[in-house]
Amino acid sequence: MASANVKEITDSNFESEVLKSDLPTLVDFWAVWCGPCKQIAPMIDALADQYAGKLKVGKLDVDHHQIYAQQLRVTSIPALYLFKGGKVVWTTVGAVPRSKLEAELQKHL
């Protein structure tokens, strides 16, 4: 992870970092071998820096942390889930344009 503003999300910290977060939280479900995941990684880092203090951004490696990915029925990656107040308020799958992602983020910040 290139940005210090992107947190590593794991099965053990998912509840505290995502579900109990005071800030809206964007979680990028990804894997090392996933080409589209690598494609959007710089955008995720940039958004984490741009919205620091307003939005928490995290990445969850689905190969190593499967509990929440399975509970949320993540079947394709990259999958972006936006949580607010412990609930999913928006999701998308695949490499999305930054403009689309930012438009959705603005609705929830």
Active-site residue flag, 88: no
Could you count the other beta carbons within 10 Å of the beta carbon of residue 109?
11
Phi, psi of 26 (to 5 degrees): -100, 120
Among the listed residues 37, 41, 69, 77, the single catalytic one is 37
Catalytic residue, chosen from 6, 26, 27, 34, is: 34
Q: Is residue 34 annotated as part of the catalytic site, yes or no?
A: yes
Q: Work out the burial of residue 86: count CB atoms within 10 Å of its CB; fewer than 13 is exposed, 13-18 middle, 19 or more buried.
A: exposed
Q: Which residues are catalytic?
A: 34, 37
